[in-house]
């Protein structure tokens, strides 16, 4: 059967040969409500070079796109910028069909590819280049962005930066370029991606942003491994990364809660109204309908973060501990925290939330509020007042910046 998957040209000598995953909704715990793409690229120079591959299950789509412009056996090199399986899953079959002269990876990448697939890759040291004939490909290690093996590569002939996970987003679509999508969709998905994948390495992001201009690269297009490609306004993406990695105090609030019989929900709503009465924007997320990646996105956007849950079987309600564990791992900074909850008798829930916020080094100017069975009017007022006071504290912190 003739292939109907085609490569798409992205620069004079570079083609997109990736795959669109329209339906993925759970990406190792990250809710990808708009799907994603696994971008792979082919450089057609004297040495034909495949940059990254796709997730297993999309291998034939990638191979067919490549075959639409060159026979597979004409490919000389494969470069693995990042060995997480969403970019390397297709590698074993691709190597078997292509039989490349060499597979290149960073030192950690070579170890990872050997561990996952028994693949022997040649190590390209940080700052080194390989000659492709008319142009050359230069490698810059970006350890922990997103894994220890991660590196970016730059093809000088076309001014192309292959940025692997960096500057990407989970967004499936039929358009190749970011400037073909609504700006608000790009902004939300880029923020969500950063907060849930890269936030934990904010320091390394700032180091990369400082180092990138010193490399004197004439970048014309940026090709990440997920989502739309960037040919315009890359400086806006750099500015967004700088803002997110700096994690300044933010004049906004998020209230995250779980509830069994609505007592915690009542406190959440009273607290949110207290925040609102200070004129501060507040979002309220119920864990019954909001997943942890949505929570983390809003936590990153807020200076005031309140978490509330009931006690269940002498512990905090499980969905809340799941969310707090996830948020804590991503290391949000500059937050004022608040814990609240409800119980019938033993009452460990709000205390356990407080302990988690302390582990995250959040300031907690007010003690937690916990009510029995159902909040009284006085307890509802206390929750409202807590929101009011904490919003004021956060506003003052932001004004002092």
Instruction: In whole angstroms, give the CA distance from residue 360 to residue 121.
Output: 39
Annotated catalytic residue within 21, 52, 64, 86: 86
Least distance (Å) between residue 325 CB and ligand FEO: 20
The reply to whether 226 belongs to the active site is yes
Closer residue to ligand FEO (CB): 90 or 360: 90
CB of 153 to ligand FEO, least distance (A): 15
- List the interface residues with ligand FEO, window 147-186 (CB under 6 A): 147, 165
Sign of CA dihedral 324, 328, 332, 334: positive
Shortest reach from residue 89's CB to ligand FEO, in Å: 11
Residue 370 CA: distances (Å) to CA of 250, 306, 315: 27, 13, 14
**Catalytic residue among 64, 84, 158, 291, which?**
84
| Backbone φ and ψ of 282, nearest 5° | -140, 140
Q: In 326-363, which positions are buried (b, 16+ CB within 10 angstroms) versus exposed (e)? A: bbbebebebbbbbbbbbbeeebbbbebbbebbeebebe
Instruction: Kindly state the smallest distance separating residue 171's Cβ from ligand FEO, in Å.
Output: 13
CA separation for the pair 332, 250 (Å, rounded): 12
Answer for the pair 63, 6: CB distance below 8 angstroms, yes or no.
no
64 among known catalytic residues: no
Tokens of 391: 């919003």
Question: Is the CB of 18 or the CB of 252 nearer to ligand FEO?
Answer: 18
Contact with ligand FEO (CB under 6 A) among 65, 146, 283, 292: 146
Of 28 and 242, CB closest to ligand FEO: 28
Per the annotation, the verdict on 82 as an active-site residue is yes
Using the minimum distance from each CB to ligand FEO, give the nearer residue, 110 or 266.
Answer: 110
Asked about 170 being catalytic, the answer comes back as no
Reading the block at residue 18, the tokens are: 């990736």
The rounded distance, in Å, linking the Cα atoms of 341 and 345 is: 12
Distance of CA 310 to the CA centre of its chain: 30
Per the document, the length of the chain is 401
Residues in 60-99 at the binding interface with ligand FEO, rule: CB under 6 A: 82, 84, 86-87
Closer CB to ligand FEO, 146 or 283, in the complex:
146
189 makes contact with ligand FEO (CB under 6 A): no
Active site residue 87: no
Residues that bind ligand FEO (CB under 6 A): 82, 84, 86-87, 146-147, 165, 225-226
Residues assigned a catalytic role = 28, 82, 84, 86, 146, 165, 193, 226
């Amino acid at each position: 059967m003739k292939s109907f998957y085609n490569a798409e040209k992205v620069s004079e000598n570079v083609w997109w040969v990736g795959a669109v995953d329209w339906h993925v909704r759970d990406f190792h715990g990250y809710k990808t409500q708009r799907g994603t793409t696994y971008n792979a690229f082919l450089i057609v120079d004297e040495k034909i070079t495949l940059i990254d591959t796709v997730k297993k299950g999309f291998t034939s789509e990638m191979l067919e796109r490549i075959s639409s412009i060159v026979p597979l056996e004409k490919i000389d090199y494969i470069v693995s910028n990042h060995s997480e399986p969403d970019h390397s899953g297709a590698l074993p079959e691709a190597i078997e069909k292509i039989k490349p002269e060499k597979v290149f990876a960073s030192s950690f990448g070579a170890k990872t590819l050997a561990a996952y697939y028994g693949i022997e890759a040649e190590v390209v040291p940080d700052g080194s280049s390989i000659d492709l004939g008319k142009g050359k490909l230069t490698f810059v290690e970006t350890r922990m962005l997103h894994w220890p093996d991660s590196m970016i590569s730059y093809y000088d002939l076309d001014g192309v930066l292959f940025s692997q996970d960096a500057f990407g987003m989970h967004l499936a679509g039929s358009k190749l370029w970011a400037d073909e999508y609504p700006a608000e969709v790009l902004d939300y998905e880029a923020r969500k991606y950063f907060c849930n994948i890269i936030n934990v390495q904010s320091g390394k992001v700032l180091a990369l942003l400082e180092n990138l201009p010193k490399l004197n690269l004439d970048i014309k297009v940026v090709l990440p491994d997920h989502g739309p490609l960037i040919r315009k306004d890359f400086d806006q993406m750099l500015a967004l990364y700088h803002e997110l990695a700096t994690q300044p105090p933010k004049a906004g609030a998020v209230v995250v809660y779980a509830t069994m019989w609505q007592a915690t929900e009542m406190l959440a709503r009273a607290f949110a109204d207290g925040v609102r009465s200070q004129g501060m924007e507040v979002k309220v997320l119920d864990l019954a309908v909001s997943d942890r990646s949505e929570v983390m996105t809003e936590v990153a956007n807020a200076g005031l973060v309140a978490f509330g849950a009931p006690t269940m079987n002498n512990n905090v309600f499980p969905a809340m501990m799941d969310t707090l564990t996830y948020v804590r791992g991503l290391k949000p900074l500059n937050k004022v925290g608040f814990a609240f909850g409800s119980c019938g008798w033993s009452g460990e829930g709000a205390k356990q939330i407080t302990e988690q916020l302390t582990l995250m080094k959040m300031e907690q100017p007010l003690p937690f509020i916990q009510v029995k069975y159902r909040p009284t009017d006085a307890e509802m007022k206390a929750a409202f007042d807590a929101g009011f006071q904490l919003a004021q504290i956060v506003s003052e912190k932001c004004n002092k910046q």
